[in-house]
Amino acid sequence: MKNIFTLSVKNWKNATFFIVLWFVLMNLLFMVSPQLSEVTTNNQDDFLPSDSESVSAMKVRFEKFPSTDGIPAIIALRSYIDSSTNQPDTERTNLGILNFVNLLRSDKAPNSISSVISPMEDPSLSSDNISMIIVNISGSPQDENFGSTVDWITNETKNLENFQGISYFSEVAITGPAGIFNDAVKVFQSIDQQLLLLSITFVVFILFLIYKSPVLAIIPLLLIFTALGIANFLAALLAKTFELPLNGQVTGILSILVIGAGTNYVLFIVSRYKEELSRYSGEPDKWQAMTNAMSKVAPSITGSAGTTIVAMSALTFASYGSFRALGPMLAMGMFIVLLCGIFIIPSVIVLFGKSAFWTPYPPIKNFFQTKILKNSNNSKSSIKKVSVWEKIGEYVVDNPKQVFIVTMLGIIFATVPSFSMKPSFSFVDGFPDDSESKIGYKMINEGFPGGQLSPTQIFLKTDGNNINEGLMDIEYLSAAISNTEGISKVYSATRPYGDPSYTLEGILDQGGSRYISSDNSTTKLDAVISGDYLSVDSLNLIKDLRKIIDETATNEFIYIKDYEIYVGGDTAVASDTKTSIDADILWLAPVSLLAILLVLIILLKSIVAPLYLLFSVVVSFAATFGLSIFAFQFIFQHSGVAYATGVWMFIFLVALGADYNIFVMSRIKESTDLEGIKKGISKAISRTGGVVTSAGIILAGTFGIFTTLELRELFQLGFAVMLGVLIDTFIVRALLVPSMAAILGKRSWWPNKG
């Protein structure tokens, strides 16, 4: 196996061959793969299992109600308050709405606007000093025409003051599914550019700070970017070939993971390469030095990457589409950057020879590397350089039980805030405060029940074409839903304006027909949830609602036979999403941990050490999760923690948490074989301290770039991974793992007696 790791650095011919092959592969993929942006989607329902009820409801909606086929943009309007009466200026508001609706229905409006519903036709769209205009936009949200239509509406709302020279409203904002989707696209577009710029700047700065060499600061980063390019090309190709749904976060997360991991590999390789070069008394053999370095460091790199790849690959079997698609893509990205780290980066560095370490500046002593100690006489000859990490290692091996107990007490205390987590299912809640859709979202919630922004849709589908003959059954169902606790109003064929009719005669001509499909086979009911439609209570309400609907149909229906009922809408999608994620967590956590344990056993050729390494990873995640929850809810004052983010935190922290432990344990094993347990552990910490600290800071820093973003989900993920990497670097790797290794001694390698 070691021969494979050193194959590209045997001589200049091998190195050149691998480098040429790498760039040929990149160009071939560039020619055949689509753009990654072309295969991404931000529709949450695209990530649910195909048999989810909310997905079935969406299919019925598209099939049976083509007039509303599209996504509604909701224009939220805040009326001016008449200073003399301290009441909304109704006349001014109505005139503004009339003028704007006429514009939306005129020839000047984009053709993709399929329908407009105003408070003039539906009084329920007006409440207190807040009004709504619903604009249905046809076509796919992925189309450029869709975004331009939303932008046109947004621009026209800014010109409301130009109608007859009067400003009709004190505040106007576009929200609803169309507005939220349009803002999401813009946010993700800016995120990709911002992440790349900040990550490049950060990595180049840190590498130059460490090596003072322009070559080692720039060339490895360029190679890592070729790995990122190949990973992006493959991700787009796989997504298109297998029709995998990728959300807008994929490029940002993939970029940070590849750049952070790739930079870590550079540090590990260069550190060991310099160490091997220093062993030569005369002119060093750079090829032999790199061969020796890769034979030692490549297995550790492969093992650390392997834990991440295995954990991510396990997501292939998840029911939630975001995990099922993004997980394997990240695993593939890690595999590509691993290939780059094993075959390309060392080849290029060794080809540069001495010039790779050229620096125009004198080296600066690193605090973590050396500290000057003198004897009692302070004589010059007795000055000795002692590694700070070696002193830490000596303290740990001299007091392993105390270090273990104190460290574990701190970790246990840090996990306590985990139990106060408030899950959040609102995507728009995580948008920047100045986003149009978030402003409109808050306005709607001020004047209307929480679910008015996105009613829960119930579809009653029959095999025949006489649904309008079962109006009495539809009313039974409407009444049952309306009487459910948590539902404020129901709109249906028998309640077109939300209120029950005294007679069903002629109700279809009074507006009820818009709730009946054109083929008379399906009817739609819109249920407005009274509270926040994306709260945990509302998600649980969906489950209760489905039971009530099923019982009502079974017990009360007289005229409608052979029917199917589906509950859909944003709340139902969120409820099904939570159910899907909960089901995945039950098997994902144990399977991921077991897979990582097997990788550790194979790499370390023992059972005991992998067990306590896995234990260290789990407790490190628990501490990070607790501290992150405390920071999000009590320091940053976030309204909640994105539900899926908790799972991503687990996957990233468990997978990445094993990385440095593998590197350190491999060195401990190597050192203890030569120098015994106590001295070997101390020396291993000393030798790995500087490079692992630098690697940890770089990986934490690259994920920390997410905290510069205004999108809450990415901020939370970046902060948690950054914190977790720092805990692994300075606490787990430096204190917890060495203390356990010192306590167990040679038993760590059982059953391997060597």
Helix extents (H) in 557-607: 570-604
Rounded CA gap, 189 and 711, in Å? 12
- Spans of the chain below 50 pLDDT: 165, 363-376, 379-383
Nearest 5°: the CA angle 662, 664, 665 is 65
Lookup: tokens for 164: 């007859």
Which of 335, 188, 38, 44 lies closest to 706, judged by CA?
188
Structure tokens at 356: 């790779």
What pLDDT sits at residue 382? 45
C-alpha distances out from residue 601 to 421, 663, 665, 673, 724, Å: 34, 14, 12, 18, 23
pLDDT the model gives residue 370: 42
159 SS3 class:
coil
Q: Which residue carries 């004047």 as its tokens?
A: 447
Bridge partners for 424 per DSSP: 642
Domains for the chain: give ranges and CATH numbers: 1-20+213-359 (1.20.1640.10), 47-182 (3.30.70), 386-435+575-754 (1.20.1640.10), 455-568 (3.30.70.1320)
Q: Which amino acid is at 686?
A: S
The whole-angstrom separation of Cα 106 and Cα 632 is: 47
Q: According to the model, what pLDDT value does residue 460 have?
A: 95
Q: What pLDDT is stored for residue 754 in this prediction?
A: 52
What is the C-alpha end-to-end distance of the chain, expressed in Å?
Answer: 19
Q: Report the C-alpha gap between 161 and 171 in whole angstroms.
A: 11
Report the C-alpha gap between 621 and 311 in whole angstroms: 14
Strands 641-642 and 423-424: parallel
Contact yes or no for 382/373 (Cβ under 8 A)? no
Q: Long-range contacts made by residues 606-612, C-beta under 8 angstroms, separation at least 24? A: 606/748, 606/749, 606/750, 606/751, 606/752, 607/750, 607/751, 608/744, 608/747, 608/748, 608/749, 608/750, 609/665, 609/669, 609/741, 609/748, 609/749, 612/737, 612/740, 612/741, 612/744, 612/748
Nearest to 156 by CA among 125, 110, 116, 195: 110
Instruction: Name residue, tokens 């491999």.
Output: 666
CA distances 300 to 268, 309, 349, Å, are 9, 14, 19
CA distance 396 to 680: 12
In terms of Cβ atoms closer than 10 Å to its own Cβ (0-12, 13-18, 19+), residue 80 is: middle
The residues, any chain, with a CB within 8 Å of residue 645's CB and separated by 6 or more, are 713, 716, 717, 720
Inter-residue contact 340 to 224 (CB < 8 Å): yes
Q: Please state the separation of Cα 718 from the chain's center in Å.
A: 9
Residue 373's pLDDT is 44
- The pLDDT, as a whole number, for residue 365 is 47
As to burial, measured by CB atoms within 10 angstroms (0-12 exposed, 13-18 middle, 19+ buried), residue 751 is: exposed
